[in-house]
Amino acid sequence: MDALLTALADPARRRLVSLLAERPRPVGVLAQLAGSRQPQTPKHLQTLERAGIVTSQRTGQRRVYALRPAALRDLAAALTLLADTADQACGPQATYDRYGLSLRTERLAAQESGWADGRSFRFHRSLAGHPELVWRHLTEASLLARWWTPDDLRVSELVFEARPGGLIVQEYRDAEDVDGSDPVAGRAEGAVEDVRPGEHLAYRLSPLLPGGGLAFTAHVDLGLRPTATGTDLDPALTGVNRWTTSAPHPVIGCGAEAVK
């Protein structure tokens, strides 16, 4: 595919391909119709032939070129596969598009003073694990790191001191940034406010802006209740302080049942 894309990158060669799509033509006629100089046309055609896009045969003193449609169909199929992969429902591209739309909406709303005060998200989850297991996944850094970021990000630093006044630090990078050369994707800092193991956890967390200032402060409240089959989890997030126009807004994935 690389050879095909390289060959078709030149506008003059694409013009020759268009002419050959109509019918096979000799070099001289192609040069005339394409409006190019005679020495350039054979070079372009040779490049296209090496890429498998055209074929040629000599007829008397003339060399006649013809298009090989299969090569273009193969390229079209490969590009369609790429587009379909990116366009899959609830995939990363869909999340990216939703994030961009949400971010633009929030930036407009953020022009109003104090617009974020009291905004909240609440939802309910019934989990199969018992409260002690759920509690561990909410408070132990090694377990938090497995789920506390989207799939395309990885935790690069995580501190969660599960005690009143305990420190919280969450820093994450792109999942494919293995050597840390790409800028940090995000960082948040906060503190634990209430700890009742297996029953209740509350903390505040503030995402940081690139300059180090606070984007906003979120108060997170997590209630746990044992059930016959596991644990009922009731998370609630309430925003306070002004969210700046450059602050990222949480992205809710496909199928999430969040209620503002």
Q: Is 61 helix (H, G, I), strand (E, B) or coil?
A: coil
Q: Where are the alpha helices (DSSP H) in 64-216?
A: 69-86, 92-109, 131-139, 141-144
Whole-number Cα distances in Å, 119 to 163, 236, 242: 26, 11, 11
Answer for the pair 31, 38: CB distance below 8 angstroms, yes or no: yes
Residue 117, pLDDT score: 65
Instruction: Tell whether the torsion through CA atoms of 30, 34, 35 and 41 is positive or negative.
Output: negative
Is 126:226 a contact under the CB 8 Å cutoff?
Answer: no
CATH number of 2-86: 1.10.10.10
Q: Quickly tell me which residue has 């990078």 as its tokens.
A: 173
Cβ-contact 25, 65 below 8 angstroms: yes
| Per-residue confidence (pLDDT) for residue 126, from 0 to 100 | 97
CB 157 within 8 Å of CB 135 = no
Cα-flanking dihedrals φ and ψ of residue 241, to 5°?
75, 170
For the chain, the domains span 2-86, 92-240
For residue 248 the two structure tokens come to: 């990222």
pLDDT of res. 81: 92
Q: Which CATH superfamily hosts domain 92-240?
A: START domain (3.30.530.20)
pLDDT digits (tens), the chain, 260 positions: 888 999 999 999 999 999 999 999 999 999 999 987 667 899 999 999 999 999 999 988 889 999 999 999 999 999 999 988 888 877 777 777 877 787 677 667 666 666 566 678 899 999 999 999 999 999 999 999 999 888 788 999 999 999 999 999 999 999 889 888 999 989 999 999 999 999 999 999 999 988 888 888 899 999 999 999 999 999 999 876 544 434 443 433 343 333 22
Q: Has this prediction a pTM greater than 0.75?
A: no
Q: Is 53 left (phi over 0), alpha (psi -120 to 50) or beta?
A: alpha
